[in-house]
Structure 1
Amino acid sequence: MRNTLGDLNNHLFAQLERLSDEELTGEKLDEEIKRARSINDVAKRIISNGTLVLQAQKFQTEYKSKDLHKPKMLEG
């Protein structure tokens, strides 16, 4: 895998450092704010996906040996 959650953490802190640059003003600051919002949106989706994978793994581990039936709402 090329990118990890550790990489995401590093990117988020790097973005925070760029936003903390007191010399950044005007249009450059506006551009950095837009970039930060985009990074934040992508990061939220990555974290949400990771949470879903973790929940699925927990569910599989907890119910692996039990006889489960498909929910009626998913039956065709």
Structure 2
Amino acid sequence: MRTALRTSAFTEPDRPKGLLIRFVTTGGSFVDVTGPGEHSDHNRWNCHGCGEVSNRPEKDYLFRIRPDANAHATACRAIPLT
């Protein structure tokens, strides 16, 4: 049995300071989760494809923001324009 490896057809953007997690979107773009880390409520996510950002910036612990960023990456079909 072969396992398919899905890679993005687009160039990965530079990794910002404070990058904690990077998800690949359905459209081939990226969603970055940035911030101080696990024990801080100052984490946020932003999508390089559609430009959407977390709706409660600087009010989320990593365990709360991670599922939202992953769900957005799963649903977003925007492709990177740069």
Q: For the superposition of Structure 1 and Structure 2, which TM-score range results when normalised by the shorter chain?
A: under 0.3
Normalised by the length of structure 1, the TM-score is 0.28
Considering fraction of residues, name the structure with more strand: 2
When you count helix as a share of all residues, which structure comes out higher? 1
The structure number with the bigger radius of gyration is: 1
After TM superposition, the score normalised by the length of structure 2 is: 0.26
